[in-house]
Amino acid sequence: MRDADRFKLLLGPYETPRCLLGDKLFCEIHGWVPVRRFSEGRIPWPQTLAGRNEPLILCGDLLLAVRLDGVIVKPDVPLVPLDKTIINDSAGLTHPMVASTSTNFGAITAHYVAGYNRTSDLKLAFSPSALGMTRTAFVYNYFRKAGKIVQPQQTFSDTIANGIAYYIVMPIGPSGAAFLGDNGHYVSLGKKRITALTDNGTITASIAFAARESARIVFGYSPTAPAITATHGQVGTVNYTNSTGLFNVLVMPGIGATATIQIKAH
């Protein structure tokens, strides 16, 4: 793999906040703080002073990857190109880069697929089976906020917009629904947020909260408006859109900064 591709996979969709030294940014941990320096990583990030430390300022795209206590919500394994991408590259083809990673819950594995174009070719394609999936999948387009049902051997294709594409791919289990996790986060089912997930006809999901988090919105796909209840913590009103099959609900933690919810498709 070319270094340019490797570095772009590492950077993903994150973008440094537009600011200069001395500017003030709102940090979710420390409030309004001045920018004192920038980190030296591939994505320079503004830092401030907190005692003798120089913490990253928790703002912007960083909020889509961490909890409010700064814990990173990440997948189980690194993001790597699909076999088809490697084969295409070895043949000298310049199709878009398509790579994936995942979170494994035993009987259920959540997949995350990222792609970007390297030439004027914007046509991206992959199948759930290329991710190791054997069940019908729901492929959710993170940026377009919409998804579709795709059979394991069926080719899912899309056109890359604005240089990058990102999908959350979940199996549709015995419940007939697919839980997509923490709404808005890139790794929406990372284990630092979703600690357990099962589907035996009813989806059961356990959710972890940071100490300062009073609620999170979780979402998913269901063929009909689902019934969602909490066995620990609380849930708000379920919102459901018939045209997309997408639902979301506000979840509030119980004792221990956790919640457990059950989802039943009618």
The first and second tokens of residue 13, run together, are 């969709």
Name which of 30-39, 84-93, 96-105 the model is least confident about. 30-39
pLDDT of 7 higher than 50: no
pLDDT in tens, 23-41: 988 887 778 889 998 888 7
Run of H or E including 98: strand 97-104
pLDDT at 30: 76
pLDDT at 69: 67
Higher pLDDT, 129 or 93: 129
Band of pLDDT at residue 107, cut at 50, 70 and 90: very high
pLDDT, the chain, mean? 90
pLDDT of 6 higher than 90: no
Nearest residue to 70 (alpha-carbon basis) of 78, 81, 62: 62
Tell me whether residue 240 is exposed, middle or buried, using C-beta atoms within 10 angstroms of its C-beta: 0 to 12, 13 to 18, 19 or more.
middle
Domains parsed from the chain with CATH numbers: 3-11+20-64 (no CATH), 80-265 (2.60.40.1180)
Band of pLDDT at residue 146, cut at 50, 70 and 90: very high
Higher pLDDT, 176 or 55: 176
- How far, in Å, CA of 20 to CA of 226, rounded? 47
Q: What percent of the chain has pLDDT over 90?
A: 68
- Contact call for residues 220 and 178 (beta carbons, < 8 A): yes
Name which of 70-74, 156-160, 161-165 the model is least confident about. 70-74
pLDDT at 59: 80
pLDDT in tens, 214-257: 999 999 999 999 999 999 999 999 999 999 999 999 999 999 99
Tell me whether residue 104 is exposed, middle or buried, using C-beta atoms within 10 angstroms of its C-beta: 0 to 12, 13 to 18, 19 or more.
middle
pLDDT of 135 higher than 90: yes
pLDDT at 152: 97
